[in-house]
Chain A
């Protein structure tokens, strides 16, 4: 049954404009990252002009805007778009009157949301690689660090995505979830330099998880890691149960 539901959803997703949106986050992130590398602080060894040295110097410089802002935002946009198929023309009442469990339908949406976020991360890393190769960055490519950064960023997005999916199934309006998303992302930005507090805020985690460090679990402090796992469980469960129990009016 779950497989049928995934295939059914695929037929809707395949022909949608979602695909054009997926590269937008990584591309904007790369653009701002590139600006940052060129105008930002210079390498400690460099004299005068900014110089690009090795990968692990360049990568954190590029990461900021993408991980703090774009990633959480695209999670919300994807969630809204996935639910828009049904919100637009009375799809929920048709879908939920079919002999399919509501859990199956909710988890299908979640799988697609997380899948699209994984694809986004993949595009981001591919973009970083191309960018680095074009700039002829010194040294060998740090595959492990980049892979860990991509995966950890994805994992830290799970609780955010779960909340966004919950909101997107309830709110027909496209702007409301987006506004909520922005409002929740801003403290994440402000907390970036507050090392004491940022480990406790869910919206700061994608940046922390994606920044290559040598400690922690997947770049995360243990408290952050457990916060992400716990937050994922709670928010997935909340959105799921609400979806299963709610009245379908539209």
Chain B
């Protein structure tokens, strides 16, 4: 079992009566890219703000690098780089100056500023005022700022929000490099599974403040169990017939589906129908996409 870089215990935050984050136990293993997923307003940003000490939990605790955040805030944050929601910047300063402001506070030498600017490919625009930057450039500047202190953990809240596809691709490539080349653990939040899917090794799904799934990405993929879908004549009669035979079967839009698509089921159902004289037009295996599973999980959360 690898070591956990982020661990929260029953992390909860209430605003008045409204519970924004409820008993969240986040587990982020070292060296992973952890995708923190959930619809807008699910509690992602509130959780992330608590991880960074920006807001205080109502109850529960945050441990980063096995240290209590509240007690060791400064020494812990020295190892964390972050980008929370929309990019933060000083518009009247240039890209370089923006980073120098932060470098001073981090006690990092100015030489490092040029390095991170190069890493996010902003060297060309380094001496232009940031208020003239495009959103994508501002976001990259934010990532540069997060990398400035050579962190061991990078926390990125919706880093691709509002970017065009090229910008999204660029940020994704940057994130993918982090654990490989620099040994940095990354937590990245998003409301779109498709963005996380291609880079995350771990996923946590939060909805209405509650964690509804957490584990390796592969575990989530495994949940996409294939179904057997049938197209036949007189589907209602077929359904009744199969149910009488003891199969669990559902009928929707004229299509019959069974929750299992192994050889045994397929062959069995086929044999029964043919023997009973029903014409089978089509039999196929359908595998729900990750997006379907995500929506399904979130949907379940809503109905709870």
Contact = CB atoms under 8 A, between A and B. Distances in A.
Interface stretch (A19-27, A44-52, A86-94, A151-159): A86-94
A97 B100 contact: no
A49 to B, nearest CB: 50
Contacts of B55: 247-249
Contacts of A249: 49, 55
Contacts of A97: 52-54, 77, 80, 82, 84
Contact of A99 (B78, B90, B101, B145): B78
Given A89-B91, A99-B77, A11 B54 contact: no
Contacts of A247: 49, 54-56
Interface stretch (A2-10, A56-64, A203-211): A2-10
Nearest to A11: B101
Most buried by A among B52, B73, B104, B105: B105
Contacts of B49: 93, 247-249
B276 interface: no
A213 interface: no
Given A11-B104, A90-B86, A95-B105, 8 more contacts: A89-B89, A89-B91, A91-B89, A93-B85, A99-B75, A99-B106, A247-B55, A248-B49
A85 interface: yes
Contact of A98 (B89, B90, B93, B105): B105
B107 interface: yes
B74 A12 contact: no
Given A97-B52, A98-B105, A12 B93 contact: yes
B168 interface: no
Contacts of B82: 94, 97
B75 A12 contact: no
B102 interface: yes
A98 B88 contact: no
B54 A98 contact: no
Interface string A215-250: 000000000000000000000000000000101110
A94 B88 contact: yes
B93 A15 contact: yes
A42 interface: no
Nearest to B93: A15
B263 to A, nearest CB: 54
Contacts of B88: 89-95
A98 B102 contact: yes
Interface of B: 49, 52-56, 73-78, 80, 82, 84-93, 97, 100-102, 104-107, 142, 145, 149
A89 B90 contact: yes
A16 interface: yes
A8 B105 contact: yes
Nearest to A6: B104
A147 to B, nearest CB: 35
Contact of B104 (A4, A15, A17): A4
B150 to A, nearest CB: 12
Contacts of A248: 49, 54-55
A93 B104 contact: no
Contact of A90 (B74, B78, B85, B101): B85
Contacts of A126: none
Nearest to A5: B105
A157 B88 CA distance: 32
Contacts of B56: 245, 247
Interface string A91-125: 11111111111000000000000000000000000
The 9 closest A-B CB pairs, nearest first, are A94-B88, A90-B88, A8-B104, A247-B55, A99-B77, A248-B54, A99-B78, A97-B52, A99-B74
A182 B301 CA distance: 51
10 contacts: A11-B97, A91-B89, A94-B88, A94-B142, A95-B105, A97-B52, A97-B80, A98-B77, A99-B75, A101-B74
A7 B108 CA distance: 13
A85 B89 CA distance: 9
A98 B106 contact: yes
A189 B160 CA distance: 54
Contact of A7 (B53, B89, B104): B104
Contacts of B100: 11
Given A11-B101, A98-B102, A89 B87 contact: yes
Contact of B90 (A17, A91, A93, A96): A91
B129 to A, nearest CB: 9
A248 B82 CA distance: 14
B261 to A, nearest CB: 48
B54 A88 contact: no
A96 B88 CA distance: 12
B16 to A, nearest CB: 13
A4 B82 CA distance: 20
A96 B56 CA distance: 13
A105 to B, nearest CB: 9
